[in-house]
Every structure is written in C-alpha cells, then in structure tokens.
Amino acid sequence: MHVMILGGAGMLGRKLAERIAADGGLAGAPVQHLTLADVITPQTPHGFLGATDCTAVDLTVPGAAAGLLTTRPDIIYHLAAVVSGEAEADLEKGYRVNLDGMRHLLDAIRAEQQGNDWRPRVVFASSIAVFGGDMPDVIGDEYFLTPMTSYGTQKAMCELLLADYSRRGFIQGIGLRLPTVCVRPGKPNLAASGFFSGIIREPLAGLPAVLPVSEDVRHWMASPRRTVGFLVHAAGLDLALLGGRTSLTMPGLSATVGEQIAALERVAGPKVTALIRRERDPVIARIVDGWARGFDTARAAALGFTAETEFDEIIRVHIEDELGGKLP
C-alpha cells in the first residue's frame, strides 16, 4: 500500500508517519511506500522499512498537486492547513492554503484519473471549528455548521467539496472533525486554543504557564495519540456506512479548565500546578467563548471511533509519549 501524507511536517503528520512506520501497515495491509509532503521537507519516520519520499511542495501553486499524484497513492491524508490564528490574521492566505489547496488536490486527482480506475481514499482533517456562535451545550450529529472564524469557514467549505467529489465518484472521502489536540507537544503556535495544552505541557516541563480564561471554560479535547488513532481508523473504515454524510465529529473528552488542573495535580502534584498563573486575556476569553463545549458523537461511536474518558489519561499519554515516562 502507498500512503501519502500532506502536511507531513506538521505535528499530526509526523506522528501519523511514525505510527505507520511502527505498525508497518495500515488498515490491515502492509505499507511499502510512504510519501510525506509539506511546504518544508518532512522527515523520514524512524524505523520505516519501506520506501519514503519526502517532498517540499506548495499545494496553493496550480499544477503542484498534479506532479505529486503521478504515483497514485492508495490513501491520501490531507492534514495541511494554516491554523486558526493565521487564517484570521491573513484572510487571503487562509483561503489560498485551506480552500484552494484542497480544490487543487481534488482536481489533480480527477486529472490523474483519465483512463484508469484509481479512486484514492482521501482522509481530510476537519475541525470542530466548523461550529461556533450560539450553540447548545451538547451538539448532535445533525446540527448545522456555524463557523465563527475564517479557519472554520474554510474547513466547512472543504467538507462540502469532499462530499461532492465523493458522491460523484472521484474519491473515497472521509472528513474527521478533530477535537482540540491536547496536550499538544512542542512550542506554542498561533492557535488561540494553545493554552489548553500550555497549562499542562509547560508546568510538566518545570516552566510557568499562563491561563488566560476562567476555570469554568469547557472544551472538547483528545490526545495526539488518540487523534492519530482516528486517522488510522479512518483508513480501514467501510465508507458505505457513512451514508453520504462524509464528515463526522470525532469523539473527545469534554473537560473544564478546572478539571484539567485538578487532573494535573492528581498526576503530578501541587508543585507542578503552582506554575500556572491566572492572567485573564479578554481577547482570548471572547474567542474561546464562541467555541463548542461538548458533542454527542453517536455516529462516530457507531463506526468504532473512541476517545479518552478522563483527563488524567490525556496527561499520562503526554508523559509517556513526550517526556519518556518521567515526571519533573
């Protein structure tokens, strides 16, 4: 099997490549060929025994996707995106990368299909940012998409494209609305959701962290390991079960910031949580106020997607996967 990851240099792309390398396969089939593409050259995952192509490519350039697809991968993960903060700060870049990039990809797939029956599975990383504004506490699978950011708008538009190109038989598409990934490793990025990870990651590294919102803020989260698990699970799913509803909200853990901090104290002790400084940021508080707090993800559950059930587990996953199992 040949697997392509667009956004292969990003956090999720790297972790997905490492998972495939560790498993040696995907969806019950061996993976002989891995293509990783991003605007910067991705790294070959450790220990992968098959062939790896790591390519720097800008999907916003017309024609760039075509060159990439001549090898006809069986599964294409489309994880490449400009994050929410950047899409809001730079309207044109957000639409160019997040919307035009998807369209170029889909049209390049169509163009490559002349005279053959190659119909790749396309797993698209959507986001719960497709929901926004006044929302119920628990959002069901048939609730309308009401993005309140340009990023969420672009993800919702891509979901529509994915469904239409799937319906018309050009791809086998599935869109996963990913929860906020927590604990996100590495440096903070431009996402306004950064503090949900920061208040866990930084104290566990012995560093101070700022909490810009009140402790009763509730959010929908999953660990990086679990999020990669969603992507892996989507590779083997019988897509006929989607019934034409191509995108679905992934399960997550609905937790308040207060519950996050309590879990951190249980796992790592009060000296660690003492590193969290409360410093209200009204701008971030207002943005986060417009985000979804919880979902009923019955469809995803019926299809076998599962998430963490308590925040302690999310912290333990971070300690195992990022800190070599060691507390500070």
Just list the catalytic residues. 151
- Tokens describing residue 143: 């609730």
Residue 72 corresponds to which tokens in the numbers above? 């006809």
* Structural contact between residues 67 and 38, judged by C-beta atoms closer than 8 angstroms: no
SS3 for 37?
A: strand
Q: Which of 29, 61, 91, 327 binds its own copies (CB under 8 A)?
A: 91
Shortest Cβ 220–its own copies spacing (Å): 18
Site for its own copies in 34-53 (CB under 8 A): none
Judged by CB under 8 A, the residue of 143, 285, 296, 306 near its own copies is: 143
Which residue, 120 or 152, has its beta carbon nearer to its own copies? 152
The smaller minimum CB distance to its own copies, of residues 244 and 325, is found at: 244
Contact 309, 253 (CB under 8 A): yes
Q: In this complex, which beta carbon is closest to its own copies, that of residue 35 or of residue 150? A: 150
Among 113, 146, 189, 256, contact with its own copies (rule: CB under 8 A): 146
Per CB under 8 A, 148 contacts its own copies? yes
* Shortest Å, Cβ 91 to its own copies: 7
Alpha carbon 229 to chain centroid, angstroms: 11
Compute the least distance from the CB of residue 55 to its own copies, in Å: 27
**Of 209, 200, 214, whose CA–CA distance to 266 is shortest?**
200
Q: What SS3 state is found at 35?
A: strand
Radius of gyration of the chain (CA): 19
176 binds its own copies (CB under 8 A): no
d(CA 119, CA 112): 10
- Number of C-beta neighbours around residue 299 at 10 A: 18
Q: Which of 117, 134, 238, 279 binds its own copies (CB under 8 A)?
A: 134
Burial state string for 108-118 with b = 16 or more CB within 10 A and e = fewer than 16: bbeebbeeeee
Q: Which of 168, 238, 270, 325 binds its own copies (CB under 8 A)?
A: 168
**Using the rule CB under 8 A, which residue among 53, 90, 164, 296 binds its own copies?**
164
**Which residue lies nearer to its own copies by CB, 28 or 244?**
244
Give the Cα-Cα-Cα angle 286, 289, 295 (nearest 5 degrees). Answer: 160
Q: Which residues bind its own copies (CB under 8 A)?
A: 91, 95, 103, 133-134, 142-148, 150, 153, 156-157, 160-161, 163-164, 167-168, 243-245
